[in-house]
Amino acid sequence: MARNARVMHCTPEDVFDVLADGWLYPSWVVGASRMRDVDEDWPRPGARLHHSIGVWPMLINDETVAEEFEPPRAMVMRATGWPVGEARVTLHVKPRGSHTIVRMQEEAIAGPARYVPRAIMDIMLQWRNAETLRRLAFLAEGRASGRAGEPVTPSAIPADGSEMPAS
């Protein structure tokens, strides 16, 4: 079972705000490339995220199912990625002072991935999930600090490509 952890500069509630927004899933999950639909009751247990994995044009439509959602402490999902298989992904979230520690564990539960030697699978998943937690941190910390606010509109960018004046 692959395990990763990351300290995030936000509250557990900030992390769960991101997890509760199913449309953000491909923004933080490495390998997910687009969202097709989100069940209205996401993230309640049994609700599904309908996403695609891969790189266009070679995409596979798949889904992730919420198994447990206990904000601001834990979330468990069953992620499918056929033909590779299915995985159970567990996120444990704990406050530590003014920060939050997010622990992620992932294990193959169905399909061919279950037969990959554990040492090899763990290395691959730890590498991928380190980036997944990094992306989740960007979103949660950005929301917490207010940086995830107003985008720069094209009209605010100088036509000559020069630097924008400091505000």
Question: What is the pLDDT at residue 157?
Answer: 43
In a domain, 21, yes or no: yes
CATH number at residue 34: 3.30.530.20
Whether 151 is in a domain gets the answer no
Residue 23: inside a domain, yes or no? Answer: yes
**φ, ψ dihedrals at 17, nearest 5°:** -60, -40
pTM, full prediction: 0.85
* Cβ atoms 86, 80 nearer than 8 A: yes
Nearest-angstrom CA–CA distance, 41 and 18:
15
Residues 140-151 as b or e (16 or more Cβ within 10 Å = b): bbebbeeeeeee
- Residue 101 inside a domain? The answer is yes
- DSSP secondary structure letter of residue 167: -
- Is 80 exceeded by the pLDDT of residue 107? yes
Q: Could you tell me the residue range of the domain that residue 130 belongs to? A: 2-146
Q: Please count the structural domains in the chain.
A: 1
Please give the pLDDT value at position 144: 87
pLDDT, position 14: 97
pLDDT band at 72 (very low <50, low <70, confident <90, very high): very high
